[in-house]
A = this chain, B = another copy of it.
Amino acid sequence: MSILDKINTPLDVKKLHLDEMKELAQEIREGILKRVNTIGGHLGPDLGIVEATIALHYVFNSPVDKFVFDVSHQVYPHKMLTGRKEGFTNPDEYSVISGYFNPQESEHDPFIIGHTSTSVSLATGLAKARDLKGEKYNVIALIGDGSLSGGEAYEGLNNASVLNSNMIIIINDNEMSIAENQGGLYKNLKELRETNGKCENNFFKTFGFEYFYVEEGNDIQKMIDILEKVKDTNKPTVVHIHTLKGKGYEPAVLDKESFHWHLPGFLNNNECDMQEGETYDSITTDYILKKQAKDNTIITINPATPGACGFSKEFREKLGKNYTDVGIAEEHAVAYASALAKNGAKPILAVLSSFIQRTYDQLSQDLALNNSPATLLIYWGAISSADATHLGVFDIPMISNIPNIVYLAPTCKEEYLKMLDWSVEQTKYPVAIRVPFGDIISSGVEDTTDYSILNKFKVEEQGEKVAIIGVGNFLQLAKEVKQELKLKSGIDATVINPRFLTGVDKDLLDTLKQNHKVVITLEDGVLEGGFGEKVARYYGSSDMKVLNFGASKEFTDRIPLEKLYEKYHLTKELIVKDIQNVL
């Protein structure tokens, strides 16, 4: 019987001797490796936090004491100690247990968390509620992997530090963000590591935190010692621990960035399954490299997720000083891009759909209000089977209702590259481009559109009675719907590629009134506040029938894509039925 077999609740951890805990750490690592090798997931962060997590559960009393893990992607060991080890030992359960905090799974997870830099703010709220109610227990935030650079973390630190009661913040310093750490703050962390926490400049002490440094963050006994020491403290306290990201799996230690999150199969050397040939990522980096070779004012910006945008180390090195990873700091990224554009540079900021929402006010005030001609590339904008914390369906309502921004939705390689180059070279508008999601599509025809004529939709196929507006990724679906409709009812529909998400083509929509009865919109994102509603509003006073298809306003959590498409009527068969119902 393994040690892990005996662990059903955190109480079981408390019964272990040090040697058993060390063995448990080994078993936990095996579980993490097997799970990630089978279904993919966060590897390095979890391998690095094993000992600290065991010590946390040995010393504290969860769920009375409350843990808030930042991003909660370092939560695998915690899950294995809180009744969910099956998610790491039983392949049938791998996908049942999520990779993040999930209060529905366990009372040991206080929040759903997936975006970074939230832990200290949330923990401060938990602690304040405790104090108001006159209760006594420990509140512990664990933050690492570069999350400290996000503004919300700082705003939280500023107020946590004056809480005047129990609050323990564990800084899990593994020397890394997803890629390298960025910025002056991380130089200070380095200096603190190198001086065993004793250097004069101490970021945390400037806020007034009690501060402890532990060099051996992967030593269970040392971790137990420090946690015993700060347990039940009555003042805001920072415990800065130095851990090894990827510990226990040498490749993850050697290449921390690649193994931060990893696809399955690495243990079986199946790593070469990388997509071959062109991708939207590869044509983007090719474009940037060529462009920058001719124009030194091109500057590429990314907030700490270069891998997700296909920005390899080699690519970043080639860009040199014309590449800025701002760290996890989307607000700064947008303001920085805006100012670069204002001062004559040509910034290209690459951000995931799920993370662009971390910077609404900067999009509005720093960028749009100033009409700065920066280019934003929005990746992974699509309905998907992602975790509830990482959906890419909200970017259209979020971006497209801000004045001045031009939000473009290319449908193929040629359009994308044309839009990208237009955006980079023009000087009138802030432009966001929703990078197509999925395999590359080529129209085979060079795009010669002048995108400075805003909100001009493109008629891809002229027909009658029914017009199908397919936004971005969904132009293909629009074409399929046309075929299905022809087959089922003999109608030869018009297919339209709007290309612009930030306005409607009034002339075209008016023209459609002549020989169309129904206009449908297909949108790879949430309907509420999105593109389709603008078309519905435009036709509100006319006889035109409008049907909008897209995602419902909801947080879906790892729902298979086919199920979502079925639910939202995003299949050609269901769409045609709906059309027939209104004809």
Interface residues of A (CB under 8 A from B): 66, 103, 110-115, 118, 121-126, 128-133, 149-162, 182-185, 187-188, 200-203, 205-209, 296-297, 299, 321-322, 324, 326-327, 329, 331-332, 335-345, 347, 357-362, 364-366, 368-370, 388-389, 394, 397-398, 400-404, 526-530, 532-534, 536-537, 539-543, 545-548, 553-555, 581-582
Contacts and interface: CB of A to CB of B under 8 A. Distances in A.
Contact of A389 (B149, B322, B365, B533): B365
Contacts of A327: 155, 158-159
Contact of A369 (B335, B388, B581): B388
Contacts of A398: 360, 401
Contact of A126 (B332, B343, B539): B343
Contact of A546 (B118, B154, B299, B537): B537
Nearest to A327: B158
A536 B206 CA distance: 54
- How many copies the complex holds: the figure is 2
Contacts of A335: 118, 121-122, 125, 152, 156
B297 A132 contact: yes
Interface centre among A344, A362, A401 (most CB of B within 10 A): A401
A112 B370 CA distance: 6
A105 to B, nearest CB: 14
Contacts of A336: 121-122, 124-125, 128, 156, 159
A201 B545 CA distance: 66
Contacts of A149: 155, 158
A534 B126 CA distance: 36
Contacts of A536: 533, 536-537, 539-540, 546
A555 to B, nearest CB: 5
Nearest to A527: B537
B182 A208 contact: no
Contact of A208 (B162, B184, B339): B184
Contacts of A332: 121, 124, 152, 155-156, 158-159
A327 B156 CA distance: 11
Contact of A161 (B133, B183, B403, B529): B183
A344 B159 contact: no
B159 A326 contact: yes
A321 B127 CA distance: 13
Contacts of A125: 335-343, 347
A527 B537 CA distance: 9
Given A121-B366, A158-B185, 19 more contacts: A111-B342, A124-B332, A129-B339, A129-B340, A132-B299, A133-B297, A150-B155, A154-B154, A159-B326, A159-B336, A183-B207, A184-B206, A203-B203, A357-B360, A529-B530, A532-B537, A533-B536, A536-B537, A537-B546
Given A158-B149, A332-B155, A401-B528, A297 B115 contact: no
8 closest A-B pairs by CB: A151-B151, A125-B339, A161-B184, A184-B207, A158-B183, A155-B332, A129-B343, A121-B335
B133 A370 contact: no
A375 B252 CA distance: 44
A197 to B, nearest CB: 13
B403 A340 contact: no
A369 to B, nearest CB: 5
Contacts of A347: 125
Contact of A122 (B153, B158, B185, B338): B338
A365 B354 CA distance: 10
Contact of A209 (B184, B340, B400): B184
